[in-house]
Amino acid sequence: METALKHPVDEVLPPARLGLLGLQHVLAMYTGCVTVPLVFGAAAGLDTHTIGLLVNADLLVAGLITLLQAVGIGNVLGVRLPVVAGATFTAVTPMILIAGQYGVQAVYGSMLAAGVFGILIAVPFARAVRFFPPVVTGSVITVIGLSLIGVGAGLITGFDSAPDYAAPSRLALAFGIVLAIVLVGRFARGLLGQLGVLVGLVGGTLVAMALGMTDFSGVGGAAWLGIAQPFHFGAPHFPVAAVISMCVVMLVTFTESTASMLAVGEMTGRAVTSRDLARGLAAEGVSGVLGGVMNGFLDTAFGQNVGLVGITKVRSRYVTAVAGGILVVLGLIPKLGAIVAALPGPVVGAAGLVMFATVAALGIGILRTVDFENTGNLLIIAVTIGIGLLPVVAPKIYHSFPAWAQVIAGSAITSAALTAFVLNLLFNHTRRDT
């Protein structure tokens, strides 16, 4: 009788079913999650061994935050819904800029500070979510996707000083992977239809091996079990501009995750209150603290897993708790991180190209809900995209600015988020004379 009264979100399924459904969630988000450390590591010029450490740290933090979101801690942390956390693409460009200006120690120092900021701001943000309507979120998410396409292209072509820069073999491999992802998405059904990017990664790697484009020599020396040393890059640094930039990223991530959590609440039939939302956002703040200490990344609620909840109709939060446990285990296997880190640039770049463009498409989808009649929303979107993409199309546009200004203005995500927020206040939250 007591079991019958349980809400489906709190239902504990049989162990075998829990395991399979949890694994399905991991497969749906795995590629997107590990792409972030691969892209950041390559752009920051880190060696394969170090990128492998980042992959493991990324999975470990994602697993812990997923567990936290599903199970919760008291009345403080965790939304207690079937939400899966993973590294956000929002932080990639700012992290690359911070690494270039101040070094990797500043990347993790600013992430740590942003995590503390996120924990402190979670409750006020949950109450002030009206200041981040679709015109703001859609514009910023569109810019995030568009700004990262160049990073994917760079992985495909390789360094311009390399002898195989943009070689036909690299381009053919990348376009072949994109074609494979399209074909899987068009003709496959069920779970396989959602794993097109993963299929493309695996298939592309096998082709690259046959063409002699891979180097897995470092995998043999990696341990089977282990954990990266906290503050692997040394004591964290806290440049003010870097901290401001990452705090803006945290706000954008909160906006993105708010939409995902509200959507899951609708799908599961459990209304998300401002208190629930604040607990969920605070857990994402914890991801910044853990990421800063453990060399990981800021996490967000993954949209593909929200979609999976809708498709499977399985509402139990314990399914995603199992997914979190699987991610923790994967994060403790350095050999796996070494394998992922050794994937060829064209393979990672092709997968990234599709995922980054998907982010842009999601932003465009959000903008479809915006009211354009008798409002300034069209101008808000236009100016946000224009200013946001300036440092992408003209990377040296702010080169004469001080270093701190380059980190803030030179980040497409940071500049777009600030522009959209301010313009929305100007057009939609100030009185107009009639």
Most confident range, picked from 85-94, 154-163, 254-263, 338-347: 85-94
* 301 DSSP β-pair partners: 85
pLDDT score of 109 more than 90: yes
**3 state SS of 41:** helix
Q: Which helix (H) or strand (E) holds 32?
A: helix 15-43
- Count CB-CB contacts under 10 A for residue 309: 22
The mean pLDDT value for 312-330 works out to 86
Which of the four pLDDT bands, split at 50, 70 and 90, describes residue 1?
A: very low
Of the pLDDT bands very low, low, confident and very high (cuts 50, 70, 90), residue 381 is very high
Q: Give the amino acid at 349.
A: G
In angstroms, what CA-CA distances link 152 with 36, 54, 166, 342? Answer: 11, 18, 13, 16
Token pair of 194 as six digits: 């959602």
What is the rounded average pLDDT of the residues 146-153? 81
Q: Which residue is listed with tokens 């991530």?
A: 253
pLDDT for 2 equals: 46
Res 69: pLDDT = 93
Query: How many Å apart are CA 315 and CA 422, to the nearest integer?
Result: 38
Q: What is the mean pLDDT of residues 142-170?
A: 80
Pick from 21-30, 95-104, 252-261: least confident: 21-30
Report the mean per-residue pLDDT for the chain: 83
The answer to whether the beta carbons of residues 119 and 286 sit under 8 Å apart is: yes
Q: What is the pLDDT of residues 354-378, one digit of tens each?
A: 877 877 887 888 888 888 887 789 9
Q: How far apart are CA 11 and CA 8, in angstroms?
A: 5
- DSSP code per residue over 275-288: HHHHHHHHHHHHHH
Give the model's pLDDT for residue 312.
64
Please compute the mean of the pLDDT values over residues 8-14 and round it to a whole number.
80
- The pLDDT tens digits of the residues spanning 235-288 come to 999 999 899 989 988 988 888 788 778 777 877 778 788 898 899 999 999 999
Q: Which two tokens stand for residue 331?
A: 């994060």
Task: Report how far residue 155's alpha carbon sits from residue 170's, in angstroms, rounded to the nearest whole number.
Answer: 10
Least confident of 86-100, 161-175, 227-241: 161-175
With CA atoms as reference, report the closest residue to 302 among 32, 17, 13: 32
Between residues 183 and 164, the one the model is more confident about: 183
Q: Is the CB of residue 139 less than 8 Å from the CB of residue 367? A: yes
> Mean pLDDT lowest for which of 5-9, 26-30, 190-194?
190-194
Cα–Cα distance for residue pair 82/355, rounded to 1 Å: 23
With 80 as the cut, is the pLDDT of residue 330 above it? yes
The runs of H, that is alpha helices, within 72-227 are: 92-102, 104-127, 134-157, 168-187, 190-194, 196-210
CA distance 119 to 285: 5
CA separation, residue 334 to residues 36, 46, 289 (Å): 17, 16, 22
DSSP bridge pairs for 299: 87
Q: Per-residue pLDDT for 6 more than 70?
A: yes
- Confidence at residue 194, expressed as pLDDT on a 0 to 100 scale: 61
Give percent above pLDDT 70 in the chain. 93
The total number of residues shown for the chain amounts to 434
Q: What is the pLDDT of residue 4?
A: 53
Tokens of 314: 């399985």
What is the distance between the alpha carbons of residues 55 and 63, in angstroms, rounded to a whole number? 12
pLDDT at residue 413 in the model: 76
What's the confidence (pLDDT) of residue 3? 47
Q: Give the span between the Cα atoms of 117 and 121, in whole angstroms.
A: 6
Q: What is the DSSP string of 385-397?
A: HHHHHHHHHSTTT
Whether residue 52 has pLDDT greater than 80: yes
Comparing 11 with 56, the larger pLDDT belongs to: 56
- Report the pLDDT value the prediction gives residue 252, as an integer from 0 to 100: 82
pLDDT at 434 over 60: no
Q: Which residues pair with 311 in a beta bridge?
A: none
Looking from the CA of 241 toward its CB, the CA atoms found within 13 Å total: 19
Per-residue pLDDT, 414 = 78
Tokens of 362: 């999601």
